[in-house]
Amino acid sequence: MAVLVTGGAGYIGSHMVWTLLDAGEEVVVLDRLSTGFRWAVAPQARFYLGDVGDRALLRRIFAENAIDAILHFAGSVVVPESVAHPLRYYENNTANTRTLIGEAVAAGIGHFIFSSTAAVYGRQPVPGPVPESGIVSPETPYGFSKLMSEIMLRDTAVAYDFNYVALRYFNVAGADVQGRTGQSTKGATHLIKVACEAALGIRDHIDVYGTDYPTPDGSGVRDFIHVSDLVDAHLAALAYLRRGGAPLVANCGYGRGFSVLEVLRAVMAMEKCSFKVNLCPRRQGDLGSVIADARLIGQELGWAPKHDDLDLILRTALDWERRLSQRAATDLETIYRKLASGRFR
């Protein structure tokens, strides 16, 4: 049997593909390459170029491959962009997920793992780590688009022979410790990605949104989880579903946080550098502190983190940025050689 990974050319999806292959799984990837890269997909995986909302393509994939599980990473993830363009998010994250679920049910594929987010939580009445039972009242269309997908999964599992795990990510960061893949999206907005680019001179500054939160230094506090630990949680979820586990919604985080300014200081110290930091007003939808209560995932899936170390997260992220720069230089050199030889005529 094979596993379908949607968005498998993207940041988290490409890590998932490598992890599945390492575990001996047969892997099929579907990605439209809007933010992902074909070269990021492990060569052992079978690749389909297209949109997860394309019913005909999904039916072709299901007909050509013996799929028993779907890991759904495809989607749009930039919170401020969702505020500016909500309909794009409801189409790509919610409507397309509904199409994928429907085609999975029709094809008899009963295992589904969904890439959800801590953005489904609203402002909590009690400070501290947020449990899965916390108030779900998203502040942005991005959060709502993911929550609506969770609701569809819940209702589908009641009506059909279909089961799922929805994993609510906190702040994913870092890169594959073997250097095979990492966060490569151009113009990415993830804090650690942006900070690494600033440290290496790729960006000339970094903007910090909000310095008046009720936190120790006024900047937002986030629970950063290494991407390799996150994809290991998905692998554990796949095993859980295959052995007959019940529908599950679980947080993916470490249960402790670092502030934005702490992260920036740590990057500067690691690289022995400094870069310009602009202090900006809060953005719509941002919360002061978002930390996971991560007990349930350990209890239900037997998952335990292996990379719970901010320095490790930062080092793998920085190493990947250097590899990306080397790749870009190599690609440019190849283009120049082709132009000089006339092969582009």
Dist. CA 219–CA 47, nearest whole Å: 41
Dist. CA 261–CA 256, nearest whole Å: 15
Q: Does 15 map to a domain?
A: yes
Quick check: is 142 catalytic? yes
Q: CA distances (Å), 281 to each of 220, 222, 284, in order?
A: 12, 18, 10
With cut-offs at 50, 70 and 90, classify the pLDDT of residue 333. very low
Dist. CA 269–CA 231, nearest whole Å: 28
Residue type at position 171? N
CATH number, domain containing residue 80: 3.40.50.720
Share of the chain above pLDDT 70, in %: 95
Which of 142, 164, 169, 240 is flagged as catalytic? 142
Q: Does 23 map to a domain?
A: yes
With cut-offs at 50, 70 and 90, classify the pLDDT of residue 343. low
Looking at residue 188, what is its pLDDT?
A: 85
Q: Which domain holds residue 202?
A: 2-326
Beta-sheet pairing, 276-280 with 163-169: unpaired
Is the pLDDT score of 304 beyond 70? yes
Is the pLDDT score of 334 beyond 50? no
The encoded tokens of residue 62 equal 């299901």
* Conformation bin of residue 91: beta by default, left when phi > 0, alpha when psi is -120 to 50: alpha
With cut-offs at 50, 70 and 90, classify the pLDDT of residue 335. very low
**Residue spans of alpha helices (H) in the chain:** 11-22, 55-64, 79-84, 86-89, 96-107, 141-159, 191-199, 227-242, 260-271, 295-301, 310-341
Q: Does 344 map to a domain?
A: no
Tell me the average pLDDT across 136-162: 97
Is the pLDDT score of 331 beyond 70? no
The encoded tokens of residue 247 equal 């529908």
Tell me the average pLDDT across 7-30: 98
**Residue spans of alpha helices (H) in 2-140:** 11-22, 55-64, 79-84, 86-89, 96-107
Dist. CA 250–CA 95, nearest whole Å: 23
139 close to 113: Cβ distance less than 8 angstroms: no
User: Over the stretch 245-293, which tens digit does the pLDDT of each residue have?
Assistant: 999 999 999 999 999 999 999 999 999 999 999 999 998 878 889 999 9
Burial environment of residue 85 by CB neighbours within 10 A (0 to 12, 13 to 18, 19 or more) = middle
Q: CA distances (Å), 48 to each of 30, 36, 77, 100, in order?
A: 5, 13, 22, 15
Looking at residue 183, what is its pLDDT?
A: 96
User: In the chain, how many domains are there?
Assistant: 1
